[in-house]
């Protein structure tokens, strides 16, 4: 009995001190803490964030919630009582939704001058581009080499007989790269033809998984799960990640990218309407475009920085490629058609 | 102490207020209000209730198909789990054999493993996405629910009733059908109800193992809420889900209470050792089944967590401590384990407190509270999670982004289990024991501490163990909460899994193995804990 | 001095049912009151109401002049013991007996001593370390008694204390309880449905019927002068109803059966007979269709019946002689034998 009481007391004390330590750390510089709402894939190095705090005396509190869509939808849902001061991670496939929900206040960061025109939205600076990534088909180099089979190069290669049952894609209804890939086909084949193309892909044995994890880790032959399909919808940066996250370090990437199949996703940061820390949030946006932050992006999130004047890390230089001519669809058109496209795709590929 | 001076009626009111009030307030605050809030986004037009989304859902053929599939897969999964679980319960709770405690603990581990980890283990074993894969995975996850619930009662059934039936000429099978099964019915129904709720709201399994063309109410609510931001359709679906879940719970609760036969219960210690050939065969076949269904996927995970490109080694475990160590979001594995444990213990304290009070209330005022407390298990995590966001957004309740929300959310899931662990023992306590204690000078709190607690301590502990295990492995609800950077093990695992590179994947497997050991350890410790020696039941 | 217990007009309701209806009683220190009544008469409810375990719909319960209404059960300083021992299964014998002392906040060392003393009172001192699940029914009741006595309550309440035990054990324990009650300064309130037990233990006996007090009297008074047909019948008297609706009661030991039939004697037929060691209990049916229970002492059976109770055969005709002093009429008109 006594032991139980002791246990209970110990628990309460532990949780109490735990809570207290947390309270202390957040209240110490309360007026100077801003909250950045973002998705689960966000990452940045400690030293980078520290340098921001040292320079500006602003602490950044991170609030992670789900994938990019969940993070955005939660932000929209709570826009009257915002969860934080800025949202990072809204991309061009969802941008229009965020803009029409009137989430952001305009801010034209002086640092924007360093960013290529192709990333700017022309939407009165309500969001600021930070990074981009190309969703492309990755291939297992060894698989093709072992079989003396040429790696597919074009869209039309993918529906050839010799590449039957080799491709795995993600369901656009539940996966962001899955949707990006469908968008790439829509852009490439046009409204009238893209479903035809998917019909042929289906006939050629395309496999669909719910998300990137199952496709890449489960089905892809060069993924961790040693699956049986050598073609997967992933990112142009995946070959670099495959090298970077290997032990012992690989000399060459086992993964290649089919650069003709890419759709570009650009991620933005926006200052949330209703923030009480507008000045501080602006400083954070500026900071995210500094060389320090931009240089940190590749190895933290495995995406490319929007500034073209930063030095990429060697593993990126050697193994990650940038699509020369990625597909793009305007954000407003995506938002208007997303449901219909997904329904059409489902009808074509799954029914 | 007020209780000391107050007249009889006021003291009763206080007791009622405490035992009924706290669980009800907890449920209202953490479930009813958030869910109503989020549903009203879809069901309210200009301040008026508008049920047209519900009608639209029912009218839509594709959504009707989804509803039908949800029921079918949940029903079949539940039936199968019950069928394979009953013999499992028998050997683990009616036989005594060396290593039984460990097997009981291991059997419980799958119940709390993160779906994505298990799914990847199944895929690695060559299971292809299909309807069958859903069923197998559902059995894997819910086997423990049946084994523990049914076994818990079975252990206390008086074996002599069965002997008496056999003396009267009943065959073993007849005895089982006519004597044992009816006696076990309440536990079977209770376990079945829980299984049904879990499979009815199954999410990851359906997505990953079902293949892309299979959708359930849960996956569709997730899609409508989290991806499409269509609150109307989501609310319509959620209402259907709520009605279905409440209906199933009410029916089972009625079936359980209708059979209010007092069972002759005996202490569990009198289970016999395995002796005859037949018993050995039954034990062996069940253990083999468990090894195949539960053991193999888990073993695959563990073995793969040691299998690095350079051979068997600890590289993936080391990677846990070094991978992305420079990231602001990095936590050393020890820290993540600590976070997990702290949150698990807090959620267990909350769950045991609220669940314990609720158990007292349920004994006095009936099953309605039990049903109400179980409903959250059958409601979409995304609905509750998004409900939290818009409910706890104003002071003094602005804790939607506080890490404290996590243990509360976990407790919400754990409470039905705590209640089910404690209620049977509490209701078996002769109320006159409490009265004698009172006349001997024990105030209500002392009565609880000196009579109820020592007798039901083991049940409390079992409930706490379940709560801890649930919290340790919980990710479904966690995923939809806005989380500050205080990751638990499942969050770490999810993050590792979401990036390419075999080190990430290997480290995720290592973290999963650590989680399994943690859960198994917690449950094993609780299985072994002997608090007080309860002579009678 | 105010009574240890005074119950005035106490009413307890279970929904529409009046479990206790305007009950009154008074109990002095060192007195034992036996509450007698059939099951459902409200005996246990009375104990529970006094203990504060049932809310009162009306009435007042006082102890030593203090209204107990504001005292919850645990502050009433009572001892309560149920039919089956209801020992705490998670405590050993000594732990059970120490419970009340611990609750009083007594130091451990002191309460061990007092608990052992209480165990000695009931002859269970050798069982202190035993687990309660090892005790026989009688032993468990002794421990329960020791547990109730240990904190030295002003009032000890026993609810059918030995009802679950076999007869010899029950008689043995009743004997001990009686001598205990006389030695201790405690007032005792005992509930039973067995009038032998009530007479054996109670200084006074109170008869309850459907929640109402029918009569309170010393055992001899009660036995001699039951106040109502109910009490008379409950005590084993013969209650007769004649054609005019008159009700009378006749004590079973005041009836004599004769073999020689005088003309003015009432006649009866023997219906049943039971041997009860020191007497025979004979059931006869009179010509006017009244059933009478008759007790015939073994010692004088020869004189009246020649061959004794054994000599009576079922179906035999006998004459009935009733001692008018042992018959009570509950009607205005005098009873004609």
Domains and CATH numbers, chain C: 5-230 (3.40.50.300), 238-329 (2.40.50.140)
**B186, B256 contact by CB (below 8 A):** yes
C76 contacts B440? CB cut-off 8 A: no
Q: Which chains touch A (3 or more CB pairs under 8 A)?
A: B
The set of residues, in sequence order, having a beta carbon less than 8 Å from that of B413 and lying 6+ positions away, is B376, B377, B470, B474, B477
Task: Please tell me the predicted confidence (pLDDT) of residue C197.
Answer: 87
**B296, B125 contact by CB (below 8 A):** yes
Residues 289-318 of B with CB under 8 A from A: 308-310, 315
CATH of the domain at A296: 3.40.190.10
C55 contacts B8? CB cut-off 8 A: yes
Which residues of chain B make contact with C56, given a CB cutoff of 8 A? Answer: 8
Task: Please tell me the predicted confidence (pLDDT) of residue C307.
Answer: 45
Which residues of chain C make contact with B530, given a CB cutoff of 8 A? Answer: none
B370-388: average pLDDT = 90
pLDDT surpasses 90 at B530 = no
Residues 363-392 of B with CB under 8 A from A: 386, 389-390
Residues A259 and A303 in one domain: no
pLDDT surpasses 90 at A106 = yes
Residues A49 and A141 in one domain: no
Average of per-residue pLDDT values in chain C? 85
C104 contacts B455? CB cut-off 8 A: no
Q: CB of A312 within 8 Å of any CB in chain B?
A: no
Could you give the number of structural domains in chain A? 2
Nearest by CB: A40 against B129, B404, B494: B494
A12-27: average pLDDT = 47
Q: CB of A345 within 8 Å of any CB in chain B?
A: no
Angle between helices B8-16 and B333-365 (to 10 degrees): 140
Which residues of chain C make contact with B444, given a CB cutoff of 8 A? Answer: 74
Which whole-number Å values give the CA distances from C144 to B523, C92, C126, C176, in the listed order?
38, 12, 15, 14
C126-146: average pLDDT = 90
C276-288: average pLDDT = 81
**What distance in Å separates residue B28's CA from the closest CA in chain A?**
21
Task: Please tell me the predicted confidence (pLDDT) of residue C299.
Answer: 61
For residues A222 and A216, what is the distance between their CA atoms, to the nearest angstrom? 8
- Residue A195: inside a domain: yes
Residues A209 and A326 in one domain: yes
- Residue A151: inside a domain: yes
Residues A73 and A217 in one domain: no
Nearest by CB: A11 against B229, B349, B499: B349
Residues A256 and A333 in one domain: yes
Task: Please tell me the predicted confidence (pLDDT) of residue A29.
Answer: 44
- Cα B94 from chain centroid? 23
Residues A86 and A150 in one domain: no
- Chain A residue with CA closest to B492: the answer is A40
A57-84: average pLDDT = 89
pLDDT surpasses 60 at B6 = no
pLDDT surpasses 50 at B1 = no
Residues A54 and A191 in one domain: no
Which whole-number Å values give the CA distances from C249 to A182, C208, C242, C324, in the listed order?
103, 19, 11, 11
Q: Where are the alpha helices (DSSP H) in B375-430?
A: 381-391, 405-427
pLDDT surpasses 70 at B344 = yes
Which residues of chain C make contact with B437, given a CB cutoff of 8 A? Answer: 88, 99, 103
Task: Please tell me the predicted confidence (pLDDT) of residue C263.
Answer: 66
pLDDT surpasses 70 at A1 = no
pLDDT surpasses 70 at A307 = yes
Nearest by CB: C133 against B440, B532, B536: B536
Residues A63 and A101 in one domain: yes
pLDDT surpasses 50 at B536 = no
C48 contacts B12? CB cut-off 8 A: no
For residues C176 and B369, what is the distance between their CA atoms, to the nearest angstrom? 49
Residues A222 and A138 in one domain: yes
Residues A229 and A120 in one domain: no
User: Two tokens at C80?
Assistant: 């309560």
The confidence band for C284, taking pLDDT boundaries of 50, 70 and 90, is: confident
Neighbours of B295 (CB within 10 A): 18
pLDDT surpasses 50 at B4 = no
For residues B399 and B392, what is the distance between their CA atoms, to the nearest angstrom? 6
Q: Give residue-wise pLDDT tens across range B303-343.
A: 989 988 888 989 999 988 888 888 888 888 888 888 899 99
B459-470: average pLDDT = 86
Task: Please tell me the predicted confidence (pLDDT) of residue B278.
Answer: 84
- Residue A3: inside a domain: no
C132 contacts B439? CB cut-off 8 A: no
Task: Please tell me the predicted confidence (pLDDT) of residue B537.
Answer: 26
Residue A147, phi then psi, degrees to nearest 5: -100, 5
Helix (H, G, I), strand (E, B) or coil at B403: coil
Residues A114 and A43 in one domain: yes
Percent above pLDDT 90 for chain C: 31
Task: Please tell me the predicted confidence (pLDDT) of residue A10.
Answer: 53
Give the dihedral sign, CA C234/C235/C240/C245: negative
- Residue A10: inside a domain: no
Average of per-residue pLDDT values in chain B? 85
For residues B315 and A249, what is the distance between their CA atoms, to the nearest angstrom? 13
Q: Which residue, among C26, C141, C156, C42, has the nearest Cα to C83 in the 3D structure?
A: C141
B455 contacts C89? CB cut-off 8 A: yes
The confidence band for A150, taking pLDDT boundaries of 50, 70 and 90, is: very high
Q: What is the dihedral of CA B203, B208, B213, B214, to 10 degrees?
A: -30
Task: Please tell me the predicted confidence (pLDDT) of residue B268.
Answer: 60
Residues A203 and A126 in one domain: no
Which whole-number Å values give the CA distances from A238 to A153, A206, A222, A321, in the listed order?
18, 21, 11, 9
Q: Which residue has the tokens 């949800």?
A: B70
User: Two tokens at A336?
Assistant: 């208007």
Which residues of chain B make contact with A346, given a CB cutoff of 8 A? Answer: 213
Task: Please tell me the predicted confidence (pLDDT) of residue B455.
Answer: 85
pLDDT surpasses 90 at C298 = no
For residues B339 and B342, what is the distance between their CA atoms, to the nearest angstrom? 5
Q: CB of A73 within 8 Å of any CB in chain B?
A: yes
* Mutate which: B436, B445, B458, B534, vs C, most C CBs within 10 A: B436
Q: CB of B228 within 8 Å of any CB in chain A?
A: yes
B6 contacts C75? CB cut-off 8 A: no
For residues B350 and B357, what is the distance between their CA atoms, to the nearest angstrom? 11
Q: ipTM of this complex > 0.90?
A: no
For residues B309 and B532, what is the distance between their CA atoms, to the nearest angstrom? 51
Which residues of chain B make contact with C57, given a CB cutoff of 8 A? Answer: none
A45 contacts B326? CB cut-off 8 A: yes
Domain of residue A60, residue span: 32-133+265-312
Q: Which chains touch C (3 or more CB pairs under 8 A)?
A: B
The set of residues, in sequence order, having a beta carbon less than 8 Å from that of B113 and lying 6+ positions away, is B141, B298, B473, B512, B515, B516, B519
User: Two tokens at B452?
Assistant: 């109820």
- Residue A2: inside a domain: no
Task: Please tell me the predicted confidence (pLDDT) of residue B264.
Answer: 54
The confidence band for A133, taking pLDDT boundaries of 50, 70 and 90, is: very high
Residues 399-418 of B with CB under 8 A from A: 400-401, 403-404
B441 contacts C90? CB cut-off 8 A: no
Average of per-residue pLDDT values in chain A? 88
Task: Please tell me the predicted confidence (pLDDT) of residue B269.
Answer: 55
Q: Which residue, among C152, C193, C195, C144, has the nearest Cα to C173 in the 3D structure?
A: C144
**What distance in Å separates residue B401's CA from the closest CA in chain A?**
7
- Residue A93: inside a domain: yes
**What distance in Å separates residue A56's CA from the closest CA in chain B?**
18
Asked whether the whole model's pTM tops 0.80, one would answer: yes
- Residue A26: inside a domain: no
- Tell me the residue ranges of DSSP E strands in A39-127: 59-64, 86-91, 104-105
């Amino acid at each position: 009995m006594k032991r139980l009481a002791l246990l209970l007391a110990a628990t309460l004390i532990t949780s109490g001190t735990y809570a207290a330590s947390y309270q202390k750390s957040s209240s110490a510089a309360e007026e100077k803490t801003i909250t950045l709402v973002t998705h689960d894939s966000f990452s940045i190095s400690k030293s980078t964030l520290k340098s921001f705090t040292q320079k500006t005396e602003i602490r950044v509190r991170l609030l992670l919630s789900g994938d990019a869509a969940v993070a955005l939808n939660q932000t929209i849902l709570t826009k009257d009582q915002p969860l934080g001061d800025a949202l990072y991670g809204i991309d061009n496939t969802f941008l229009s939704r965020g803009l029409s929900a009137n989430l952001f206040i305009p801010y034209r960061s002086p640092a924007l001058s360093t960013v290529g025109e192709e990333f700017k939205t022309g939407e009165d600076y309500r969001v600021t581009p930070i990074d981009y990534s190309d969703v492309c088909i990755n291939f297992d180099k060894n698989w093709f080499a072992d079989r003396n089979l040429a790696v597919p190069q074009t869209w039309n290669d993918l529906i050839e007989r010799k590449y039957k049952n080799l491709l795995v894609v993600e369901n656009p209804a539940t996966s962001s790269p899955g949707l990006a890939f469908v968008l790439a086909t829509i852009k490439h084949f046009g409204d009238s033809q893209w479903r035809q193309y998917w019909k042929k892909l289906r006939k050629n044995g395309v496999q669909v998984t719910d998300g990137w994890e199952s496709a890449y880790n489960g089905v892809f032959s060069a993924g961790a799960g040693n699956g049986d399909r050598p073609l997967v919808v992933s990112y142009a940066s995946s070959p670099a990640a495959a090298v970077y996250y290997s032990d012992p370090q690989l000399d060459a990437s086992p993964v290649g990218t089919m650069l003709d199949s890419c759709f570009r996703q650009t991620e933005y940061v926006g200052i949330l309407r209703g923030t009480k820390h507008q000045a501080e949030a602006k400083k954070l946006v500026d900071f995210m475009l500094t060389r320090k932050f931009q240089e940190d992006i590749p190895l933290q999130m495995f995406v490319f920085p929007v500034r073209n004047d930063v030095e990429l890390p060697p593993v990126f230089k050697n193994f990650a490629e940038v699509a020369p001519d990625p597909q793009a669809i305007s954000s407003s058109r995506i938002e208007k058609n997303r449901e219909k496209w997904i329904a059409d795709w489902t009808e074509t590929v799954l029914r | 102490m007020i209780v000391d001076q107050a007249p009889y009626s006021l003291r009763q009111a206080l007791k009622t207020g405490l035992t009924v009030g706290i669980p009800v307030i907890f449920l209202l605050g953490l479930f009813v209000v958030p869910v109503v809030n989020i549903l009203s986004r879809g069901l309210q037009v200009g301040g008026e209730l508008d049920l047209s989304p519900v009608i639209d859902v029912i009218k839509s053929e594709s959504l009707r198909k989804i509803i039908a599939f949800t029921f079918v897969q949940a029903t079949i999964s539940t039936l199968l789990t019950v069928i394979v679980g009953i013999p499992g319960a028998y050997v683990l709770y009616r036989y005594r054999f060396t290593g039984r405690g460990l097997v009981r603990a291991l059997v419980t581990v799958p119940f709390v493993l993160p779906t994505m980890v298990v799914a990847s283990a199944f895929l690695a074993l060559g299971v292809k996405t299909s309807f069958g894969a859903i069923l197998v995975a559902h059995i894997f996850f819910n086997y423990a629910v049946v084994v523990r619930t049914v076994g818990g009662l079975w252990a206390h059934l008086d074996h002599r009733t069965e002997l008496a039936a056999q003396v009267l000429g009943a065959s073993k099978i007849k005895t089982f059908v006519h004597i044992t099964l009816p006696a076990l019915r309440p536990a079977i129904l209770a376990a079945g109800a829980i299984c049904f709720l879990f499979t009815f709201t199954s999410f990851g399994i359906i997505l990953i193992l079902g293949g892309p063309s299979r959708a359930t109410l849960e996956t569709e609510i997730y899609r409508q809420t989290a991806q499409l931001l269509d609150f109307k359709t989501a609310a319509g679906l959620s209402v259907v889900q709520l009605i279905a879940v409440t209906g199933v719970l009410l029916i089972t609760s009625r079936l359980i209470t209708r059979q209010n036969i007092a069972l002759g219960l005996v202490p569990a210690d009198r289970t016999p050792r395995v002796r005859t050939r037949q018993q050995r065969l039954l034990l062996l076949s069940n253990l083999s089944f468990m090894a195949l269904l539960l053991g193999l996927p888990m073993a695959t995970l563990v073995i793969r967590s040691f299998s690095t490109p350079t051979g068997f080694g600890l590289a993936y475990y080391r990677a846990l401590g070094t991978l992305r160590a420079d990231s602001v979001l990095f936590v050393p594995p020890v820290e993540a384990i600590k976070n997990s444990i702290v949150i698990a213990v807090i959620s267990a304290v909350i769950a045991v407190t609220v669940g314990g009070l609720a158990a007292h209330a349920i004994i006095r005022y009936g099953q309605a509270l039990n049903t109400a407390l179980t409903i959250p298990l059958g409601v979409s995590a995304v609905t509750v999670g998004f409900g939290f966001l818009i409910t706890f957004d104003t002071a003094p309740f602005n804790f939607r982004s506080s890490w404290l929300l996590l243990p509360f959310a976990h407790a919400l899931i754990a409470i039905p289990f705590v209640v089910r662990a404690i209620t049977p023992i509490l209701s078996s306590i002769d109320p006159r024991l409490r009265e004698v204690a009172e006349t001997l000078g024990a105030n209500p709190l002392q009565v609880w501490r000196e009579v109820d607690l020592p007798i039901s301590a083991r049940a409390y502990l079992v409930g706490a163990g379940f709560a801890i295990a649930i919290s340790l492995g919980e990710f479904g609800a966690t995923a939809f909460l806005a989380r500050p950077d205080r990751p638990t093990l499942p969050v770490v695992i999810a993050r590792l899994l979401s990036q390419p590179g075999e080190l990430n994947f290997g480290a995720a497997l290592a973290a999963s193995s650590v989680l399994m050991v943690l859960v198994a350890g917690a449950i094993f410790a609780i299985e072994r804990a002997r608090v007080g020696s309860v002579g009678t039941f | 001095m105010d009574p240890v217990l005074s119950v005035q007009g106490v009413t307890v309701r279970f929904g529409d049912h009046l479990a206790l209806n305007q009950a009154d009683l008074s109990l002095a220190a060192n007195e034992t009151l036996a509450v007698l009544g059939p099951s459902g008469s409200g005996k246990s409810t009375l104990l529970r109401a006094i203990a504060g375990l049932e809310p009162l719909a009306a009435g007042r319960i006082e102890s030593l002049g203090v209204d107990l209404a504001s005292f919850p059960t645990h502050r009433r300083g009572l001892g309560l013991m149920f039919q089956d021992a209801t020992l705490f299964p998670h405590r050993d014998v000594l732990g059970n007996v120490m419970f009340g002392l611990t609750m009083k906040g007594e130091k451990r060392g002191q309460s061990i001593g007092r608990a052992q003393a209480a165990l000695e009172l009931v002859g269970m001192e050798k069982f202190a370390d035993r687990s309660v699940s090892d005790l026989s029914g009688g032993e468990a009741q002794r421990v329960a008694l020791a547990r109730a006595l240990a904190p030295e309550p002003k009032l000890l309440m026993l609810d059918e204390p030995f009802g679950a035990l076999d007869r010899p054990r029950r008689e043995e324990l009743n004997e001990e309880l009686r001598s205990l009650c006389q030695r201790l300064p405690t007032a005792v309130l005992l509930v039973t449905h067995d009038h032998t037990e009530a007479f054996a233990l109670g200084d006074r006996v109170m008869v309850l019927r459907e929640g109402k007090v029918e009569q309170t009297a010393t055992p001899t008074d009660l036995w001699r002068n039951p106040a109502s047909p109910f009490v008379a019948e409950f005590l084993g008297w013969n209650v007769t109803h004649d054609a005019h609706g008159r009700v009378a009661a006749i004590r079973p030991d005041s009836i004599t059966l004769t073999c020689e039939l005088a003309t003015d004697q009432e006649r009866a037929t023997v219906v049943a007979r039971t041997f009860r060691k020191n007497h025979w209990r004979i059931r006869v049916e009179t010509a006017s269709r009244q059933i009478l229970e008759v007790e015939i002492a073994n010692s004088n059976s020869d004189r009246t019946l020649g061959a004794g109770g054994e000599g009576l055969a079922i179906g035999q005709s006998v004459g009935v002689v009733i001692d008018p002093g042992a018959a009570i009429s509950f009607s205005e008109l005098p009873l004609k034998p």
